[in-house]
Amino acid sequence: MFGDYSIGDLGAIFAMQGFAGLILFSVYVLMALGLAIIFGQMGVINMAHGEFMILGAYVTWMTSSAFQAYLPSLFPGYFFVAMILAFIAAGALGMLVEWGLIRHLYKRPLDTLLATWGLSLILQQAYRSIFGAREVGVELPQWMLGSKQITDTIEVPINGIFVMCLTFLITAAVAYVMYKSRWGRQVRAVVQNRVMAGAVGINTEKVDRYTFGLGCGIAGIAGSAFTMIGSTGPTSGQLYIVDTFLVVVFGGAASLFGTIASAFSISQAQSTMEFFMSGSMAKVLTLLAIVAILMVRPQGLFALKVRK
């Protein structure tokens, strides 16, 4: 298999696969961060997470169209406005869903699965009715197009570099909010001992609502990033929900570092194996390896000790 390649060619190929793995890692982290907060911190199985992501993608598409039509001179910077609007739209819908549906089901996790699965079907049909069944794509600004020449044989897409930088900034912001801010301490207190947190004056209902909204808002930003690598349709979110849950469960519920480590392990393993075999076979082998590890360590790579 390697007979036709020189050592330099093999090094360049593996370097390209490594960069492809980093871009996939960035997408996985963006998708999984919101779910890690909702599923890991709150114990809610949100099967509609992909639809919140697609809401962010549709908001990005609408923002792109609006800037093209009414503010063409500002079009190069529309993506930053779109990310903010996607976060607000997805976060606001998430808080509404938490108030109207999720708050009644906190002690019944399997019911949250059924309820959010039904919600995902409702949102898919809503998107189909509002935006149509056909997939749509955004037009990227000129500065996001093309690739960056790293060496004579290695090129990295500029939009991939942007996604990696965006992922780093959002992950750092989430880590700061969850581990350094007063609100983050309240969230972790509610996770570890809800009754005691309420007894010392923490408004657990308010913490739950804002936490769910934050997780959905991050999914909206992931949807904005998603528009750079794929087209957007009513059911596009369902293509990624399994991978997202896989990343969170493998990393360990309620562990931000575990989510990052899990996304990196899965993306690099999958990207490397795709050089030797088809993409579907690489995905199958990655899944089998994760299942085998979870059989030995069901709590995931990193687990948080929680007092009930």
d(CA 197, CA 208): 12
Q: Do 44 and 112 meet the contact criterion of CB atoms below 8 Å apart? A: yes
d(CA 228, CA 145): 10
Q: Which amino acid is at 252?
A: G
- pLDDT of 2: 47
- pLDDT of 213: 94
- pLDDT of 88: 96
Q: DSSP H helical segments within the chain, as ranges? A: 7-35, 42, 49-70, 78-100, 109-131, 158-179, 182-192, 194-199, 204-226, 238-251, 256-276, 279-296
pTM of the model: 0.87
**CA distance to 51, 72, 110, 173, 180, per residue, from 217 (Å):** 12, 27, 23, 13, 20
- pLDDT of 119: 94
- pLDDT of 13: 61
Q: Where are the domains of the chain?
A: 21-140+154-235
Running along the chain, 308 residues long, what does each successive block of 10 average in pLDDT? 53 64 78 83 85 94 93 91 95 94 84 91 94 87 80 74 88 89 87 84 89 92 85 85 84 78 82 76 84 83 59
- pLDDT of 122: 95
